[in-house]
Each structure stands twice: as C-alpha cells, then as structure tokens.
A = this chain, B = another copy of it.
Amino acid sequence: MTEVEQTPALIVDRATALRNIERLRDYSQQHGLRVRPHTKTHKSLEFAVEQIKAGAVGLSVAKAGEAEVMSQVTDDVLVAYPAIDGPRVRRLAALAVTKTIRVAIDSPAGVAILDDAATEADSTIGILVDLDVGFHRTGVQSSDEALAIAQAVARSKSLRLDGLFFFPGHLRDSVEPQISKLRQVDAIVLDAIDALERSGLHVSIVSGGSTPSLYQLHHLKAITEIRPGTYVFNDMSTVAGGYCKIEDCAARVTATVISTAVPGKCVVDAGTKTLAADRNSVRPESGFGYVVEYPDAKIVRLTEEHGEIDITGCDHSPKTGDRLTLIPNHICPCVNLQAIAWTRNLDGSLQPLRIDARGLIS
C-alpha cells in the first residue's frame, strides 16, 4: 500500500525523520554533546529505536507511563518533569530497580517523596536539580535553593545526585545565537555548579535543551547533554523559526477536500481534533499550518473536524475529493491525537506507526 485509504491520516516519512536524526547526531558529535531525545514528539518505540541507533545515550519523557514504555528500548530514562506525586514516584521507583531512572525536580518536597518511594522499592533514583534559566515555568530561583535540594539528595537514603537540569524555552524564534540570553543561562548554570561543588557535591550531568534552542546549545559552557524533541519530525513553528526547511518536516497530514461551497475557500477533513489548535509559535498570524500543494493558501480557521483554507491567493482551486498534504504548526500534540498513523518506508510503502505512549495519564 502506498496511499492511505482513509483521511485524515498522519504519515511520517522515514527518510526525512532519519535525516533529521542524523543531522542532530552530526551536530552533537561535532560539539561533544550527549543526546537524550525527548520522546514526547513521536511517543513511538519505532523512532525511539532510530534515535538510539544514532547514538542517543538514553531517552527523555514527561510521564511515568512514558518511562515504562520507553524503557522497553533503553536502560536509561530521564523524566524531564517534576514527577513528585504518589502514583508517579511509585511507578518510577519500581522501574528504577532494573533501569537507570533520573527525575528533574525543583522542590525539597520532591526529594522526600522520591526518596521514600525508592527506599520502599529498594531502588535508586538519580536526581537532576531543575534550574529556572529564564522560561519561568519550573525550576529553582537561586543557587542557594539548588544547593539546598542537592544537599537533601546527598543526605537521602535512596537518591543519587547526578547534576543539573534546565529547559530554555525562552531561547526561540531566532536561528541566530541569542548571545545575551545564552550568557544569562550560562551564568545561572555556572553559579549553581559552583555552589554545589564548593559544598563537595559533584555535578556529572548538565542537561538542557529544546528544539528551538538546539543549534545554539554548544555556546553554553557547562552543558553535557541536550534533549530536543520536535527535531525528529519538525513542524511549521520550527520552519518559521529558521531551524529547518519545509522539506525537513517528516510528519504530514493527508486530508480530503470535503467542501468548496463557500467562495474563496476549500474545507478539508482535518480540524483541531487532527492538527491540534496550536498557533505557529513564531508567526501566530500565519494560520494553522501549511498546505504543501498550495503554498499560497492559508489555513484560516480550524474547528473540530473542519480545516478552512483560504485559496484566494492561489492560481487554481482544489476540487472536492482532492487530497491535500498539511504540515501542522506543532507536531507534538498532533501526533498525540492520532489513534492510527503511518510510516512511509524508504521504498515508498506505508506501514502502521504505533504511537505506543499515546494518551497515558501520568
């Protein structure tokens, strides 16, 4: 089979995804950075395996359930999330009996609950202290706070202090190195390292990253590993940021034109329940994705099952029944919406793509 029977359908081009994975491998090798891809984007063992084949030292996840799934293909999982409530810590502590499990946390309460769970399970959990380097979502606010958590970890029974963690979500929307922001990140990280090491604590891992900041990260002095997610498939936000080109977008939605009744528009069978409602993070005014066959078209409105495309700028018009190829603004929630998806193999054939970690609660 080379075409999907039913639409809307997410199809991942394996050749493009492998090229994206290789590009990251080359960058990381050039700069001596370890790679720990965030699997939130693909949630699939198929692509996790490709990332590991390309030299990833382990995988990043957001959920305990994702850690369980991804530990099928790696022995080394970082929970890049403050997983500090009862059910999560119990599941992670159990997993840590046989796997290397690390958790990034920003609270003394997290130390206590993770230590209790690991002690109960007779396992050891590695801890990275989460620093707020400017995105202001999670992360401690000072090297004193980082030190307090690190010392609590050092005093704990069943936790191991492994290092520091940050998410530079504010480094984006610019393919050029954002030198002043990078300097601030560096200062915060180096300050924390200094505080810990002066207290006799060893920082072996400094884990940071995102796709928009990806190719700036080697400018950071102390970083040891990077955690991009979106880079594996890319999307219109990464294109708009200048981090990749349209042809690097591996995951695309095939949709069918189901109405052309309203003048100047066509309507496809992909709305927010297929593409997700995310606006382009760099160019929010650009609409809800890109129509490959009609580069001058604009996806002007999404409702749940309808994608409305303004075609007034196009020199010809789609007809009902035509299939169009859409690239979403944000591929991560789009993948998460698909109960069924497809990989296009190198020979052009399609095979089902399992989104193994889709829809897990915690």
Chain A residues within CB distance 8 Å of chain B? 5-9, 40, 62-63, 81-85, 87-88, 106-107, 109-110, 113, 130, 132, 136-141, 145, 169, 256, 258-263, 265, 267, 269, 272-273, 276-278, 301, 303-306, 308, 319-321, 332-333, 336-340, 358-362
CA distance A169 to B321 in the complex (A): 24
Residue in A9, A278, A304, A337 whose Cβ sees the most chain B Cβ within 10 Å? A304
Instruction: Give A67 Cβ to nearest chain B Cβ, in Å.
Output: 13
Residue in A84, A132, A267 whose Cβ sees the most chain B Cβ within 10 Å? A84
CA distance A350 to B169 in the complex (A): 38
Instruction: Give A340 Cβ to nearest chain B Cβ, in Å.
Output: 6
Instruction: Give A332 Cβ to nearest chain B Cβ, in Å.
Output: 6
CA distance A267 to B261 in the complex (A): 45
A-B contact pairs, 10 of them (CB 8 A): A82-B258, A107-B261, A107-B320, A136-B262, A136-B265, A138-B258, A139-B259, A269-B362, A337-B359, A338-B359
CB pair A261–B304 under 8 Å, yes or no, is no
Instruction: Give A117 Cβ to nearest chain B Cβ, in Å.
Output: 13
A5-B87, A301-B137, A305-B40 as given contacts; A81 in contact with B359, CB under 8 Å: no
CA distance A301 to B110 in the complex (A): 23
CA distance A360 to B340 in the complex (A): 8
Residue in A85, A140, A267 whose Cβ sees the most chain B Cβ within 10 Å? A85
CB pair B110–A320 under 8 Å, yes or no, is yes
For residue A265, which residues in chain B have a CB less than 8 angstroms away from its CB? 136
Interface residue SS majority, chain A:
loop
Q: How many protomers of this protein does the assembly include?
A: 2
CB pair A333–B321 under 8 Å, yes or no, is no
Name which residue of chain B comes closest to A272, CB basis.
Answer: B333
CB pair A261–B321 under 8 Å, yes or no, is no
CB pair B259–A107 under 8 Å, yes or no, is yes
For residue A319, which residues in chain B have a CB less than 8 angstroms away from its CB? 109
CB pair A321–B84 under 8 Å, yes or no, is yes
CA distance A305 to B269 in the complex (A): 27
CB pair A62–B304 under 8 Å, yes or no, is yes
CB pair B132–A262 under 8 Å, yes or no, is yes
A107-B259, A267-B137, A333-B304 as given contacts; A339 in contact with B321, CB under 8 Å: no
In addition to A85-B256, A339-B360, 17 A-B residue pairs with Cβ atoms within 8 Å of each other are A7-B85, A8-B361, A9-B361, A106-B259, A107-B261, A107-B320, A137-B262, A138-B259, A138-B262, A141-B263, A169-B303, A273-B336, A276-B276, A277-B277, A304-B332, A338-B359, A339-B358
For residue A340, which residues in chain B have a CB less than 8 angstroms away from its CB? 359, 361
For residue A109, which residues in chain B have a CB less than 8 angstroms away from its CB? 319-321
Instruction: Give A87 Cβ to nearest chain B Cβ, in Å.
Output: 4
CB pair B267–A272 under 8 Å, yes or no, is no
CA distance A107 to B265 in the complex (A): 14
A137-B262, A320-B109 as given contacts; A362 in contact with B8, CB under 8 Å: yes
CA distance A84 to B333 in the complex (A): 27
CA distance A261 to B109 in the complex (A): 11
For residue A113, which residues in chain B have a CB less than 8 angstroms away from its CB? 321
